Structures are given as structure tokens and as C-alpha cells.
A and B are shown apart, each in its own frame.
Chain A
Amino acid sequence: MKPPPFDYAAPDTLAEALELLRRWSDEAKVLAGGQSLLPLLAFRLARPAILVDINRIGSLETIDAADGCIRIGALVRHRTAELAAPRGLPALIRQAAAQIGHVAIRNRGTVGGSLAHADPSAEWAAIALAYDGVITACSASAERSIRADDFFIGFLASALEPDELITGLALQMPPGRTGSAFAEFARRHGDFAIAGVAAVLGLGPDNIVTHARLAVIGAAITPTRCHTAEATLVGQAFGPVLADAAAHELAADLVLAGTDDDERSHRLHVARTLTRRVLAAAALDSGSEAIVR
């Protein structure tokens, strides 16, 4: 399982990296954390002509929070986000980042890499979808913003062009009293999720849901934002019955993954179960007096 031959460049600046991508296009692969790319090379499932190692581009490593927006640079490691409690990152981000693989993977793996790889079980996809994420994609000629809702277009397929590099992810923190939570179920600790759910809830007086985001990973062929389930929640008083109703609506939003009906049925059930649990946890996280079970 040795990688096939490739050329290698380690630019120091974003401009140099983008120029390489412009020149090589789909014959180039970006090397960030390498936790997804190196296995692909080892299995010889990817045979790029050149690896563009972006790890030296320091401008991509920052996290800023301002005006209700958290901006995370593409090279921010999962481990950094997981341990960033002092910076006041929401519970969902810390919980989700903590479940990405194992410690050694989180030490190297990056936000940008995870999004670009577009695995259906990518925790960062759940985070991005749950916070109206906007992905900044740069090429040598242009910079564009891609909404997370539009980013995951198919199985392991994103809206990125071959000459584009993700430079950052912007997350919109909703105003008012909100809470968030994340949970996933996998065969073993650290494995890819069979299903994972991220929930962000805004609760007003009488626990009326003012804001709802529900993102599911693992259960469908792409990370999915569950608009139907969200619509069920908004404007209603939160409680277990409402959470049930929202969970029920997942079937409308998910194109289930699985090789047979039993597997798909199981994934849907897991997604619904986790939805109930994270909605309750998000409500609790908001500090509301909502009844949580």
C-alpha cells in the first residue's frame, strides 16, 4: 500500500498555491491534514500528478469571532476546535469536532480538508449546515462564497471546482437565546457515523421555537439539512412531542444510504432517535426551562 508517484510542492503563500491549482487543475490534489488523502494514495485510488501541500500557509490557520459570525480558517485542525472552549465556541462545534476519528487524526485533520472531501459522515458538514455556513473558495482568478446548503452535491462530491481551494468557513451564530448539541452513533468509538445529528435551537418566551437547524450526517448519501423537520419545529412550543414530530419528518429530507432496506431502515431510525436526543440537549443547552428527557 505505497502511494503511486507524484510531484510535490509546498507553497508558502495562498497565491502560489492557487497558481499551482490553476496550472494543474484536476491533476492536482491539495494536501492539508492528509488524513483522507494519504489513505486514498495508499490504496492507489487517487493518482494525482502533483500534491499541493498547503500546510505552510499560515494565513489559513485562524479562528475569529465577531458580529455573531465565527470565521474558521481552512487549516484549523479538528483538535484546535475541539479544545477551543476558552474561546467560547458553541457546544455543537466542540462536541462534533471531538468525535472526528481519534486524537491523532484530529491533530492533523483540517476543517477545509474535511469539507472538501465531502464525506457523507463529515462532522464539519453537520456544523456548517447547522450554522448557515458559508464556505469561501478561492481560485487564481476569483473568490466566491458557497452556502453550505449548496455545497454537498453528491456522494463524496462537493461544489468545488478543480482549481479552487477552500480558505475558510463562516458560521452564523443565531441571535437570542439559543442552544446546540451534536450526537452520532458509530460501530466503534471514532468510526464514521452510521448517523449523526446536529441541532441548533432558538427558544423564545414559552419555549416557542424561534430558530431551528437540523443537520444529519451519515444516514444519507450527502450531509443533509432537514428543512421539513425544521419547519415542523419553528413557531411551536418545544417539548418531547414536538421533537418526535420533527424526527418523524426526517424521512422527507433524507436520501438514505445503505445497500438494502434493512440498512436504510436502521439508519433512518438511528437518525430519528438521535434527533430527539439532540433537540432535547440543545434545548437544555439554551438554558431554557424546556422539559428535557
Chain B
Amino acid sequence: MNAQAYNFAYLDEQTKRMIRRAILKAVAVPGYQVPFASREMPMPYGWGTGGVQVTAAVLGPDDVLKVIDQGSDDTTNAVSIRKFFAKTAGVATTTRTEDATVIQTRHRIPEAQLTEDQILVFQVPIPEPLRFLEPRETETRRMHALADYGVMHVKLYEDIARHGHIATTYAYPVKVADRYVMDPSPTPKFDNPKMDNCPALQLFGAGREKRIYAIPPYTSVVSLDFEDHPFEPYRQDAPCALCGATDSYLDEVIMDDRGSRMFVCSDSDYCASRRDAAAPAEQAGAAHDA
């Protein structure tokens, strides 16, 4: 069996139409989780099957695809998904955020400002923001229908009562277009403000849980908080050791077994372009990690 045995971007056209219908509904009702007939994909559930199906449904032959995991183009699963689409769709791929028309991501939003010409596709493990407060789908769907989100505020309040602050650091719940509480996928809460009023279309695919949801361009996305305990994005208190950025989310890299460490940009493209811009002459010496 070779790649030619499969349709453009792997999925058959009927399946893509079904997914596109779900996407349209998701865009029409921002933040609402639309059930869709998720297919079995040739990669495991939990490894991006939802994002891959959304990408397959929106991808055209002229698109330029970027895939990141943990902010980097070079993490194993990002490499694997990028190769999958290069093989099954033959589309051009890139690691440069500004050159991409479709960006599939796991756990991060790129640091560079996205544009109206871009679609950001998130891989989502558990789409239901209320799941860990209420395990039953029948119950959580009812709660969303009634906008019954008291239990979430109680949880955040209990965090403050117990720890002095909200103890959710990633997958931090947001309210979309003043209606649905939504799980932003396990992105660190540092990325939450980027979702608000974003010019790019943001699509979320959860394959195993069979849900698609969306944030249309220029939609309000508010991280849940309290007046006296406003939402605060967290960032490590250090500049990037490679490019010196003080505004990017950082990965901590342990240097040796004596506990020395350094912080570097999690967004590898952002870091590389800053280094290229700062020292075009020294480029030969700088390790381009993309």
C-alpha cells in the first residue's frame, strides 16, 4: 500500500465534507463543541488525530503547512505529522510562522502575531472544560446548554481559598464570545491572551472524543477570573539564553547533573528568526535548531 492508494490528505472527500460541516457549525457557534464522526487515523488517539482530521479537511493543494509540538517544529510528533501531510497531500511545508497558511499545533500558540490569512489548528485531548468537575457527558452538555458554569467558578474560588491563587497553569478555561466556557487545549495559560481578538481562525479538533470547536477571527476570548484575583499569565523570570527574548514562553533545559540550567524559547522559529535578525553575519556560528 503506498500513498497513491489514498485520497488527497488521506481522508476521502465524503469524510472531509462531514468534517467541514462540523467546522462551519463550530464557527457559527463559537466555543460550542460540535460532535463529529471522527475517523480512525493511522496515528494513535491522543497523538493529534483530531487536529490531523481538521487539517486534512481545510488543507488545499496551495496551502503551506507548519506543524509544531511544544512550540517547536522539530519535536518527534510534529515531524511525524508534517511528514504525513507532505506524503499524503504533497503540500509545501515550512517552519516559518509567517510563511504558513495552516499551522497545526500541540500545546502552544506561536509567539508571532497571526494574520487573517492563517488557520491555527489545535490538537485537543479532552475538549470538555468541565470534565474534571463532572465526568458525565450527558450532564456537561446540559450544563453548557444552560450556561450553568457555577461549578467552574467554585473550583477557581476554592483554588484561591486553598492556595492564595488559581492553581491552573495550562488548559486554563476561557469564555468565548461571552457564551461558552471552552478548554483552550493544554496550552500554558501564557498563551490565553493570544486567543482573544485573534485575526486568524482558530480550530480545535479532538479525535478520540469526537468533538470540533472553533474561535472565529476577532472573537472575544476571556480567561475566567475574579475582580480581586485577575487572570495573570505566567512566564519564567528570565530572558531566553539564545536570543535574549523577554516576551516569549521558555523551556527549561537542564545542562548537567549539578543542577545548572538555562531557559530557551519554546517557539523555535521565533527564537531562530530573532537570532538571524540580530546577527546576520554570525549566522554560521549560531545553531539553527529548526
Tell whether A and B belong to one assembly.
no
Q: Which residues of B are interface residues toward A (Cβ below 8 A)? A: none
Q: Which residues of A are interface residues toward B (Cβ below 8 A)? A: none
